[in-house]
Structure 1
Amino acid sequence: MNIQASSTNSNPSQPGFSFPAEWQPHVATWLSWPHTEASWTKERQELMFPSYIEFIRTIAQGEEVCINAHNETVIQAAKLRLLLAGVDLTNIHLLPNPTNDSWCRDHGPAFLKNPATGERMIVNWGYNAWGGKYPPFDNDDLLPVLIAHYRNLPYVTPGIIMEGGSVEFNGAGTLLTSRACLLNENRNPHLNQAQIEDYLHKFYGVQQVLWVEDGIVGDDTDGHIDDTVRFVNEDTVVAAYETNKNDENYPILQDIHHELKQMRLLNGKQLNIIELPMPDPVVSDGLRLPASYANFYIANSAVIVPTFRCDKDQQALDILSQCFTDRPVVGIDSTDIVWGLGSFHCLSQQEPV
């Protein structure tokens, strides 16, 4: 049965629904197959597809991969690419869901779960392509409802703009986000910080919202948290840091570290903060790209980390391997993917068991 609750008075947190931590078991990972030149030109798509397909192959070793594929033509083209790359299609489902772009973290469904009952539901946040930067985005905005019907899950529509990459969860009642994004006038100009926090409490089922100020240079999302700070367990974060004082990101990341040190969790504890280096700058056509090791994705079978063909790749992999001892940490080259201004976390959205 599909139930749409379009009223902002609806409150999924009241019966106990919340957004699980990413390291909790998944039924599936959702992706949106690239098929337009919205993020990558045709030439750039050819360069990025090998890494994108390796990403799919790695996820599929431990869970379903559900891929929004624009139409039957795109489905057949995607299937051919996967088969030619030797990917086992057993766990892969290509679905004829129309899309405009490929960043499923932001336009895909937010899956909530009620731990007491095992019930699941979807939050159908509004999506406007990061403040209207990249029209059209009408198909992407409709995806959560299509997926709710596909999964036969109830869904709720809060009626405001929210992107999955702008919020980070510890699975124990705490959400991390940035003012640069969520308080940007190009998202929900009619809402102040307290009002936005109220939506986060109700529709993500969190009890606490912690704010950093900004995001990294080159991030066209206005400061998504998944490029700077990520939870690796309930009370520990990895935080991007820059050692080069002449780098544009140095003061930004210093400020974030200072903000993190002042934070206290619901139990009164300070955050454990693990420094995660930034890669060397990735520049294309004079444009600084938002390359960050923090944009990793925690799949059932592995933690998948973007690498950028630089000396710091192995250091980042070693640090994250110490954080995640229950599954392998795998690096996949994201140099061509990040040309589209995102990486593996931006591309994916998990569906909890």
Structure 2
Amino acid sequence: MKPRELTYKMPPEWAPHARTLISWPIQDSMCYPDDYESVCGGYAATIRAIAEFEPVTVVVNPEDLEKVREVFAGEARIECLPIEHNDAWLRDNGPTFVVNEQGERAGINWRFNAWGGKYSPWDLDDQVAPQILEHFGVRRFDAPVVMEGGSIHVDGEGTLITTEECLLNRNRNPEWTRERIEEVLNGYLSVDKIIWLKRGLSGDETDGHVDNIACFAAPGKVILQVCSDPADENYEITQENLRILGEARDAKGRPLEIIAIQQPPRREHEGKRLTLSYLNFYFVNGGIVLPVFGGEAEETDRMAVEDLGKAFQDRVIRTVDGMAIIREGGNVHCTTQQMP
């Protein structure tokens, strides 16, 4: 039976967490291996920021276990879980948790192919979710589709938002139609309405993950990163997203309130555009962990903190250095996975 038939559904990210799961970086898999120590420092800072709000379980390759335990020695809210993995983006290869009407947890084990086969090997990453679920004694549902957690956001009331660029990409599920993918999302996450944006941000090597461009702030309310420079490729992309969301209705038939957040200034590394996004923040219990970028982004950093503070007046906005790991291709939301 599918999870929906057993009353399981995916809760929104702002629902209470039991803990956060995050993976520790692997030097051999990094785009810039010489940055390993600084990237580990960025992960440690993010882990500590999250641990201010809730427990954190760090998935660590067994050979790194003692070293990472020493990094967090004496920090009671941070524990290590030895599981072999190829890369450190647990949002995408970890389980997606669902909860039934009795409050029981289960986990969706999606198939994982390293963002359309971009980074080999990924065999260990594809086995991380089952091992996490086994460790915590959580029921597992194996989904028959390649899917990454960063490609979807839900409102907890039947609506999911995603992009065609990612979910309909031929490098994930080449034989699958939009209708068949919608059927799987309906059956495994209990969603009734899918809002399809066209594209993600320019330069995003995940093929347009939604967690860089849009997310639900509450049922009927969406936060969207926008670009105001017509010369920037993101201008057309974000204007199209604004139009789609402005015309959309959610599963309850409501029009969407849209909160626009200005993107940070363009930044490149070795001629490649970095996917800077304030939308790659992460909900924690009582707070939000927000990447900020400094330098020429100082003003948009300030605006993002202010805008999110207005949107979430009951939450602490905790900032972290968004430049610490972005050269590796992701940020705070990409590294994390919440357990309800």
TM-score (norm: length of structure 1): 0.93
> AA paired with 1:170?
D
Shift of 1:235: 0.9
Deviation at 1:62, TM superposition (A): 2.3
1:50 aligned onto 2:37: no
Match for residue 157 of structure 1? 142
Q: How many corresponding residue pairs?
A: 337
Counterpart CA distance in 2 for 1:267 and 1:234 is 9
Query: Which deviates further from its counterpart, 259-268 or 222-231?
Result: 259-268
In 2: Cα distance, 1:214 partner to 1:279 partner = 18
* 2:308 corresponding residue in structure 1: 320
Deviations along 1:77-136, one digit per CA (max 9) or x if unpaired, are 2122334xxxx521111111001000000000111101x201111111100000000011
User: Which residue among 258, 267, 275 is the counterpart of 1:290?
Assistant: 275
Is it true that 1:169 corresponds to 2:143 in the alignment? no
Corresponding position of 1:221? 206
Alignment of 1:27 with 2:13, yes or no, is: no
Contact 2:261 2:304 in 1 (8 A): yes
Pairwise CA distance, 1:187: 0.5
Match of 1:181 in 2: 166
1:135 paired residue among 120, 130, 136 = 120
How many angstroms does 1:40 deviate by?
A: 4.6
Distance 1:167 1:271 in 2: 17
2:335 match:
347
Distance 2:145 2:280 in 1: 25
Cα offset, 1:213, TM superposition = 0.4
Residues 44 and 336 of structure 1 are in contact (CA less than 8 Å); yes or no, is this contact kept in structure 2? no
- Cα distance in 2, alignment partners of residues 228 and 290 from structure 1: 10
Q: Which SS does the other structure have where 1:215 is aligned?
A: coil
Q: Percent identity?
A: 35
Deviation at 1:63, TM superposition (A): 1.7
1:113 to 99, 112, 127: 99
Question: Partner of 2:72 in structure 1?
Answer: 82
Which of 81, 93, 97 is the equivalent residue of 1:95? 81
SS in 2 for 1:26: coil
Query: Structure 2: which 5+ runs fail to align?
Result: none
**In 2: Cα distance, 1:145 partner to 1:345 partner:** 21
Structure 2 length as normaliser, TM-score? 0.96
Q: 8 Å contact 2:32–2:328 — kept in the other structure?
A: no
Decide which of 291, 306, 327 is 1:306's aligned counterpart: 291
Alpha-carbon shift at residue 344 of structure 1 (Å): 0.3
Q: Distance in 1 between matches of 2:277 and 2:176?
A: 30
CA distance in 2, matches of 1:32, 1:290: 20
The answer (yes or no) to whether the contact 1:58–1:302 under 8 Å persists in 2 is no
Amino acid in structure 1 at the alignment position of 2:66: Q
Cα distance in 1 for residues equivalent to 2:262 and 2:135: 40
Q: In the aligned structure 1, how far is the partner of 2:31 from the partner of 2:318?
A: 24
CA distance in structure 2 between the aligned counterparts of 1:45 and 1:301, rounded to whole angstroms: 31
Corresponding letter in the other structure for 1:23? W
Could you say which residue in structure 2 is the equivalent of 1:5? none
Give secondary structure in 2 for the equivalent of 1:264.
coil
Partner of 1:15: 6
The 10-residue stretch of structure 1 (139-148 or 34-43) with the greater mean CA deviation from structure 2: 34-43
Aligned residues: CA RMSD? 1.2
| Mapped contact 1:218–1:341 kept (Cα < 8 A) | no
Cα distance in structure 2, aligned partners of 1:240 and 1:39: 27
Larger helix proportion, structure 1 or 2?
2
Partner of 1:3: none
Answer with 41-50 or 332-341: which moved more.
Answer: 41-50
Rounded to whole Å, the distance in 1 between the matches of 2:135 and 2:41 is 29
Gaps of 5+ in 1: 1-9
